[in-house]
Structures are given as C-alpha cells and as structure tokens.
Structure 1
Amino acid sequence: MVDCPGYSLSGVAASLLFILLTMKHPDDFRVIGPALPILAKVGEDALLTCQLLPKRTTAHMEVRWYRSDPDRPVIVHRDGAEVTGLQVEGYRGRVEWTEANTDEGSVALKIRQIQPGDDGQYWCRFQEGDYWREASVLLQVAALGSPPNIHVEGPGEGEIQLVCTSQGWFPEPEVYWEGSWGEKLLSLSENHVLGEDGLFYVEDTLVVRNDTSETISCSIYNHGLKEAKEAAIALPATSRVIGLSQPILVRVGENIELTCHLSPQADAQSMEVRWVRSHCYPAVHVYVGGAHSAEEQMVEYRGRTVVAADAIHEGKLTLRIHDARTSDDGQYRCLFGKDGVYQEARVNVQVMAVGSTPRITREVLKDGGLQLRCTSDGWFPRPHVQWRDRGGRAVPSSSEAFCQGSQGLFQVETLLLVTNSSVVNVTCSIGLPGGEEKAARFPLSDSKIALLWMALPVLVLPLAMAIDLIKVKRHSKDQNHHSNQQSLKNDESHMRASL
C-alpha cells in the first residue's frame, strides 16, 4: 500500500461535503415578502404580495397561500389555474388570485371584506417538483371604534363615577383619562370585552370627588392606526336621572315596567335614552329620535320591549318588557344622554315564580323504616324547604335536591326519615325568601296509624288459616289418589294369579 503524503480519506470527505453544500440545486430559487406589515381596516380589502427570485415565470409552478397549516390553504394555484376543493372554509368567496406579474414571479392575494380573524401571519410558498421555498407576510387588521360616551353614576358618598364606553375597536385599544390641565388620571377599573364580531367593547371607570369642578376627557387610542377618539364632560353635572329606589317585583309571564326621569325636570325629546344591563352595549332598549334603535338590542329582548314616551317633554320615560323570564332578574341601568355625555340611574328587578303545591309520598325501606318524599316544581328563585312536626317545630331533612330546568325554574325534592310516632301531621313547606309559601301535610292521623298496626294481625291470621286449609285439602287429595292407585295395582295382581 502506498501512502500519498498530505492527502487522507477524511480530507476527501470534507471536500465532497463542501461541494455538496455549495452546489446550487438546478431548480434553486428564493421567495421574499414585504419588509413591513400590511395594514388593513375591518371591512376593507387587503392585498398580500410576494416575489420569486431570480425573476422568472411561475406558469409551471404551484403557488400556495396559507396561514399555519400548508394542508389548509387560503388559495392554491397550480400550472396557471386555481385548484378548488382545498380552500379553508373561512376564506371561500372572499379571496381572489391576482396576477401581479407572473412572468417575473410576482404574485398577489386579495382578501375582500377584511375581518378581525384575518389578522396575523400568512405564508407564500412556491413549489417546483419536490423543491419549494416560502416567505411570510404579516397582515395587521385594525378598526377604529365609535366616539366615546361618558356617563355619570352617582353621586355616592363623597364621590361620583365616570364611565367611558365605546365599541367596535381592533385590536384592543388603550384608554386614557385626563384632567383640565392635561394631567393623567388613573382608572378605577377597565373592562374590555371581545364581542362575537371579533371587535372590542370598552368600558372604563374613573372615580372623582363629588365636588369636582373641571372638565375631564376620555381618550381611546388605536396603536395600529395611530388614531384616537375623545369625549369630555364638564363637572359638576347639571342634572340627574332618578329611578325607583325599591326593587320591582314581578312574576314570570307578567310585564316589567322600568321608569326613569330627569331631575330637575327637563325636556328629553332631543336626548338618547338607553336601558342596559351590566354593559352599555348591546342594550336592552335604545330610544333615540323618537324611535327604537333595533340594531343595538340584545337578542333575548328583541320583540319584547316598548317605550311609553307620553311624558318625555317632562323628562320621564317607561320601558315595558313583556313576558318576564327568569333571565330578566337582576339590575338594569337607565341612561339619559346628549352629545356623548350620560347620566344614569339603577333599578333592580326581582323575578319570581311560585311553584306547585308540594306532593308527599310514602316509601317503606328495606330495613323496615319509613321515608317521606316531598316534591314540587316551577319555583324561582331557588326556594327554601322545611319539614315541621305536628307542633310546628322544624325537623331536619335527610336530603335536599334542586334542579333548574331550561326555563330557569327550580324543581325541588326533599326526603325525611320518620318513626311511627313522628309521622303524625308532618308538614312539608316550600317557599320563596320573604315571599309566598306552599305546604302539604302527611295525611295519616294517630288513630289511623294505630288501626293500621292493629289490623295487621287481623288480616294476617285469616290469611294464614286459609293457606293452611288449602294445604290440608291438597294433602287429603294426594292421599286419596295414592290409595286408589294402590287398589288398582292389587286388583291387577289377583287377576294374573287366577290365570
């Protein structure tokens, strides 16, 4: 074997590896996308582009746009034609292939009617045979919401709350409070809710002293668009909204009437009046310009509300909610507003339903004990249950169960283990907290129980005697039958002997 000085097998392998790594693939190319994110507003169209380098035709290539998964594409073009059947559901009918300049490897994707869910990263992939390259494109979706509204809650104990609300923002915006001299004020709470449409609803609260006398502004800022919307309120406020101080009690199926008025009395015909629950949007009912603004109404109140505005020139309106449901129970806010500034009052509604008369059934347990079962349904809110003995004293139940049905009404079941002496005049009582009550009494009396237990041996003895008589008769019959059979056998033997 002859050694070649300065030349080894490892050196040859390293040289080959270097050649393979630096050798250009016959189909080698690269893809580039825009250097900056593409900004698009909700409802507008967006155009995403990417470029093949070196520049050449894409007529015999596959170009695929996708989000996170290449197998779930936004759109696919192969050999100059769109490939159908692969497109992800959310983009069907909303995307369009745009041939920017396919002869030079430039392609574009148009997305129509941009939605908040379109926000994020996209990939543009070019593939020729088994070789592919791709580049990413960042789409930033933005929406500028409605002008802010400021409404006043209170006054409370030495302070009032200012609540700034707006809707239709994307992405989540920032909220700033400022005083008359531009100083920043700290929010008490921030509540930003993402709605079903993918847009943010904003509700921020600021607390100030009750004797504050200055102008305070609320500014909502969108970083993507670098735009803001602002509203201001001059304190102290000149009027207040008054509602009922006591809760409104209403039964399921009845109508709810929520009345609010301005103090001091003033004409409210040019004002917007809004009844809401926990948030200002969507609303229970919006009354503006003498008509109902239906587009802002919560689904569960559609077709169930009407406003009585006969006294609107005195600043008084009543909202009537038809066919009260258990879901209507709770707090409502009544807002009078003009030029983005609102005053509000709060009203509590207590919905109630009195259920069926309790029904008591008796069950004998395997160990010989006695159990009473008391049931009733159709209650709201959740009722209280109580067993009482004949003296009216409370008797603890062995178990209680409450089940709430699709309409929100409660079904009740309670069990009581009893002894013979405690059965007498036991009462099952079911009622609402501070409201109506229904009761049922176990029907047996002392004398009936005594007669029942005395009658048992009287009934058992005749039954036992009857059973014994049947056994005796059956035994006698069996013996007669056996004797007859034996006599026949004897006669047969005598006949054979004589023969």
Structure 2
Amino acid sequence: MQLLILVLLPHAIVTADSANVSSTGQAPLKKPSHSVGLIEGQKFEANCSLSGITAPPEGLLIAWNWKVGNEYPVRLANHFSDNTQETVTYSASQFRGRLWVHIENSSSCVLTINPVSISDSGEYQCLINGNQELLLDVHVDRPFRNIEISYEPKNVTEGEEVTVTCTADGGFPQPDVQWVSEGQKVTREAKTTVNRSRDGSFNVRSVLRKDAKVGVRYSCSIWDRFTEKLLLEFVEPIPGPKVKTPLKEVTGILGKNVVLKCRLSLPHNNSDIMKELSIIWLVHDTTGTEKIIHEVIQGDKTLSSAKYFQRTKNFWNTFVSQGIADLEIQAVTIEDMGNYICRIKKGTELIGENFVELKVTSPYSKPVITYVRRDIHQHQVLHLLCLTQGGFPIGDIQWLGPGQKDLTDQSESHIKETSDGMYKMMSDLKIVVEVDDTYTCVVSNPWLENKETEVIAFVNKNM
C-alpha cells in the first residue's frame, strides 16, 4: 500500500541539513539545532533532510519522536519505504487529527502539526534508520489576553506610599515581568506571584510599592522571549504638567497669518504657578540649530530674532488662565517653514516641550487654456496650452477629455521657478477637434485640498 499526503498551507517551517550517519547505527548525542517559537493555533512544519541518505536494501525507516523535559520520548510517527511500498503509522493520541508526515520531492521528510497547542511544546527528534538527523526545541505560546495596571489610593498625594498592581491572565509560558520608574528598572522592588490554571496557562499578579512623586510614571511590561511579544501599560498616579501641540503639522498661506497651537495642562489649574512660567518658541534652522524666535518670561516679552521682529504674537493672559501658549506668526514667508518647538520653563527648570512643523504654501492662479489657431475645423489637430503660476510648492496639471477620460499621460508639462521663488507651470495637450468635445485643465497643490480648473468646449459654430 502506498500512502501519499499533500499539505499546501505553509507557515512556520524549520529545516536542517542531514548529519553523517554513524557507522555503529546508534544515534549520536546532539543539542537542539534550532529553537522555534510559535503562537497557539499556528501551523508548524519541520523538515528532516534526506540529502546524502542512501536507502539500504531492507528499506528506510524515518521516525519522529517528541520529548518533554526529562520524560521518556514519545513516538509520534513512523515513515517506512522500500522498493515496493511506502507506509506511515501514527501512535500519539494527543496529536490525532493534527499531525501528518510526508516525503517532499524525495529530499526531505516533513512533519506537520496544525494547529499547535501549548501542550505541544518540547523537543522534536527525527531519526533515520536509528540515526538522529534533526532535533528541535519547540515553544508554543499562548498570548496573554490583556494587561491591566491600577493604583491605590486613588487620591494619593506626593510623598505618600502608592501601591501599583499589574495583572495579566491566560498566557503561556510563564513570562518575564519588568517594572520601570523614572527611567530605572525597579523590578526587584516588586512582588510577583504566578498561578497556573487548569488549562496550563498562567495568571500573573505583580505589586510595586513606591513613594508617589508628581509626574512620575510606573510602567509594567510582560515579555515573551520565545515569540518576542511585549505587553506594556503604565499609570501616573499624580499627573505632572504636560505640553502638547494639538496639530503636529500646520500649513500656512503665503503672506497670511498662521497660528501654531501649544497647550500646557497642570494637575491643578493654579494661576499663581502659571505666572511664574516662561513661554519660549524656537525653530530648527537648516543646520539643525535651535534659534529663539519668541520668548515671554513671566509675562514680559523679550526681543526675538530680527527675522521675526514684530511678526510674532503671544497671549499671556490666555496662557495664565487657560494654559494656551499659541504663537501667531504674521505675514508668513517661505523662509518661515521648519520645525518649531514650544518650550515651557520655570526659571531654569524645563517643565515640558513639544513640536510642530510649519509648511507655507501659495495657491496657484486659476489656469488659462489657450491655442494658437484662429480658425478651428472639425478633425483638425490642435495644441491646447494650460498655464498657471504663482504657486508653491511644485504642483500638478491634469487633463480630462471627453467623458472625463484622463489624458494627462498624453500631455507634456514644463515647470519654471520664478524670481520670487514661486513656480510657473505649463502643459501642452495635442488633440483632434471634434464637435461637442470638452477638455478640462485641473491644477492641484499638494499642500492644499482645493483644485483650480478651466474648461474649454468645442461647439458647432463656424466649424
């Protein structure tokens, strides 16, 4: 009887070259050649190479074993073949319906388990006529369903002891739990307990006790070293001040005013504290150097760089009452583009900072379509020219023909930078005139949503 098994769903596949066959017929002692990490439910394949193996007259026996810890190996399957037959027998009830063995292209014997479960972890051994050819250390993991972190008491004050608890359930294997506070590992200060459920998964509970500080986060992470999966959560029992820029990218119109938004949030809105702060706006120049463009120290504005002189505005009263540290730049120029920093300080102490990118654009003029011939006749070849100018950055011209068909690929465009740094664009489209045909030139600016269009139609008049 000949048995043929086809498996067509590849996933985790491990291969290893065949070792030399021992002349004594005994399996030499080897360490696992690979360590494999899998997620429960995935498909696993192991390839035992037949390269260099010559089948003896009595036939070729390929055996797959499975071993957990110091337990005795369990025979999973035997694959036997000679000149007359090929048979596969399976003997491990735990893998029934999930395990197959087949020969692939006469070059390897493939063991397939689909799907894998956490109880399948262990060492997998391939023996060819008694000689070990492959040994794999397989770890099947079950991801933890979630990670939760909490603290008590809820109304903790600075200097008071706070108890931070981190829990995670239903995972396998037992994970590494780590704690970080103020940039330092504090795992050794935590007490971690692990319980095992009936299904073999683990439940983790870790408790850290510290003296609470303003603005200090306590981070708990669970790390699976085999699949390199990380779960991370943190709490900040006494929130510290936060500097935020609601919009990370702002586009201003050339010559118009633009507002760069910045917000400061304090745990307790105290106007007396706000009055002690300073607002500093900086910009990164082309060399990456920070340059102060606007500074308000406890309500008093200081001189900024000449480039922004009398072009920046900040509203101190609004900052004191609402924490709004917005900066208005008047009559923006192309040279104003860059990365801006909103920095809040108390004396020399940095409270916080955040970033916003400013782009400056100039809309293109409404396009104009022209042609050189005065008398136009049906079926006549004609060049349509679309012209637009005064835009920044480089835009795009698109042609739409009859039925809104895109004809852009049939056109030829030219772009020229003018003396003021703006761009002038022209596109030439060659057409054959037909009555009632309509052509549209569409001009777009990549930094603006609105598009400018111009339409030309050929009607049955004097044609």
Structure with a larger share of its residues in strand: 2
TM-score by length of 2: 0.42
TM-score by length of 1: 0.39
Structure with a larger share of its residues in helix: 1
> Radius of gyration: which is bigger?
1
